[in-house]
Structure 1
């Protein structure tokens, strides 16, 4: 009899718990959608800033270093620098260009003070990885390079990205420390960023400069609509269930 007397009270309790669970799920979905909208605003502002930076006049290397030392954002800022390429130490980053497989050639540029900065001189096809297959592009003497500053990565961007194969001089992500170490450049002798060279043609046509990619993924609006849509669907399904229950 005691068990039977408790049965009627279970319905309201279940209703309360179901209502709380519904509100919690709805709050999570709305919060995720709102977060994606905030990310959308951030990404659009970032893209606008990058587009504006790319049109600025190139700064000197000293000005760029001072900007980075003060905590400023150097990503995609135009810069001009001079030095001598050390082609024997070029590093190869696996890449595609216009649907063709190959490598981006990162060559240390030796500055007047003896330090090095890795310059992405551009793309070479897979079969032209060996520098001896493109001798015309191994320019000698002091060169002036104009390009875009690219900040270093602090870690591998994803666990899906393969580990760099320093033994074969094939890099899958731009690990500045590993690139410099494998090229025999001490940490204190290299700058803490890269430079992507502009499209100025190289002798012999290789490497092909101006390979910087600006199409940053921006799917935040799609994600936001998905989360908001799930929230609306949850309300609709719950409302329909409540209406059926009352009938």
Structure 2
């Protein structure tokens, strides 16, 4: 009788450990399924938003005011309208930009908005002169710039930005959020750049590529997450069934 009790105790303990492992595995599988389904739904929501942006961009004259605190991801690719005062003396140039096979620069001039924040405006392309110390600075109308329309895009958010040979280090290798903030000093900087569409009479070339909204890409990602959720659910059920069969045996 004593021998039987001693032999059954380890068996009961092993059974409890097996049940605990099975429960943890099932809960982990279920949590992973829920996560994949949530990510798939989020990608579908992004696809709907990008499709709406594409429709708005295609519509003639569709432009919305840029709010004081714009969500960069939300407004990326949206056509917006802004007004403010040009900060011409704070113009910067983006090096190594080509047009029709010619080397040149993009000219970025900040716009001081009503709340004092800065919005960098990409005014367009200009050819690079032979003397790189004489960067092109086409004139702008003085005073406030009214009802400027353009496409808001997100610039780069990391990496290195090399300064050029200009005395003010205003010749940049790319548009970078951190560089923009350093250039603005204490002023708040929008994490967006306006690709200007309005004609401001500066003679710069403004032939922007259409924004890559990519709703199809998000739908593809959503399908991948849903398939992964289905696979995880199938494996979880299979594991649970096999575990129960072993216990019954």
How far does residue 10 in structure 1 lie from its aligned partner after superposition? 2.7
Label 1:24 to 1:105 Cα distance change in 2 as closer, same or farther (>3 A): farther
Q: Which of structures 1 and 2 has the larger relative contact order (alpha carbons within 8 angstroms, sep 6+)?
A: 2
Match of residue 10 from structure 1: 13
Match of residue 53 from structure 2: 50
Aligned residues, how many? 224
Report the Cα distance in structure 2 between the residues aligned to 1:31 and 1:93, rounded to whole angstroms.
47
CA contact (8 A) 1:147 1:195 kept: yes
CA contact (8 A) 2:88 2:109 kept: yes
1:197-239: CA deviations, max 9, x gaps?
A: 239798475x643464433752233123213312212322443
Equivalent residue of 2:177, what SS? coil
How far does residue 35 in structure 1 lie from its aligned partner after superposition? 0.8
CA contact (8 A) 1:93 1:106 kept: no
CA contact (8 A) 1:121 1:208 kept: no
Report the Cα distance in structure 1 between the residues aligned to 2:61 and 2:186, rounded to whole angstroms.
32
CA contact (8 A) 1:162 1:172 kept: no
Report the Cα distance in structure 2 between the residues aligned to 1:92 and 1:234, rounded to whole angstroms.
53
How far does residue 3 in structure 1 lie from its aligned partner after superposition? 4.9
Gap runs ≥5 in structure 1: none
Deviates more, 1:86-95 or 1:233-242: 86-95
TM-score (normalised: structure 1): 0.61
Q: CA RMSD in A?
A: 4.9
The answer to whether the aligner puts 1:187 opposite 2:190 as a matched pair is: no
CA contact (8 A) 1:107 1:119 kept: yes
TM-score (normalised: structure 2): 0.61
Match of residue 40 from structure 1: 43
How far does residue 68 in structure 1 lie from its aligned partner after superposition? 3.1
Gap runs ≥5 in structure 2: 164-168
CA contact (8 A) 2:51 2:213 kept: no
